[in-house]
């Protein structure tokens, strides 16, 4: 497999992120289908806006907040093509699980979600 230039990696990332990407919360691994997505207390998946791609990676330029119901532990996040339904893109484990004993907001800070082409 040939290595891509940073410019090609950046272009590929921009191609994905300009389609519209929404962030989801999951109680277990997402697998390849977006499994174990939480039923949100209110609202839906959070819309992501992106900073410019650089060096083969691209990070969020806005924070995202999801309303998580009580008695829920979130351990994975995922990305989708739509705020509801849609196509699952990719998921990853959180650095540390977050447990909500009462209904609360799960907030991802600016730059907390990053796509990398390498």
Instruction: Return the sign of the alpha-carbon dihedral for residues 73, 20, 61, 117.
Output: positive
Half-sphere exposure in the Cβ direction for 64 (13 Å, CA): 27
Task: Print the SS3 string covering 54-90.
Answer: ECCEEEECCCEEEEECCCEEEEEEEEECCCCCCCEEE
The closest alpha carbon to 24, from 95, 116, 94, belongs to: 94
What pTM does this model have? 0.88
What gap in Å lies between CA 118 and CA 96, rounded to an integer? 23
Q: What confidence score (pLDDT) does residue 28 get?
A: 98
**pLDDT 10s digits, 51-75:** 999 999 999 999 999 999 999 999 9
Query: Residue 81's pLDDT band (boundaries 50, 70, 90)?
Result: very high
Please identify which residue in the block is written with the tokens 């909500």: 100
* Whether the predicted pLDDT of 1 surpasses 50: no
Query: Residue 17's pLDDT band (boundaries 50, 70, 90)?
Result: confident
* Whether the predicted pLDDT of 82 surpasses 80: yes
């Amino acid at each position: 497999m040939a290595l891509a230039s940073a410019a090609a990696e950046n272009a590929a990332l921009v191609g994905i992120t300009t389609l519209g990407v929404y962030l989801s919360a999951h109680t277990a691994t997402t697998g390849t289908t977006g499994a174990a997505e939480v039923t949100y207390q209110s609202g839906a998946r959070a819309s992501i806006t992106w900073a410019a791609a650089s060096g083969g990676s691209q990070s969020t330029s806005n924070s995202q907040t999801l309303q998580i119901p009580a008695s829920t532990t979130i351990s994975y996040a995922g990305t989708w093509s739509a705020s509801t339904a849609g196509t699952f893109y990719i998921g990853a484990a959180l650095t540390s699980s977050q447990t909500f004993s009462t209904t609360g907001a799960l907030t991802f800070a600016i730059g907390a979600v990053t796509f990398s082409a390498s």
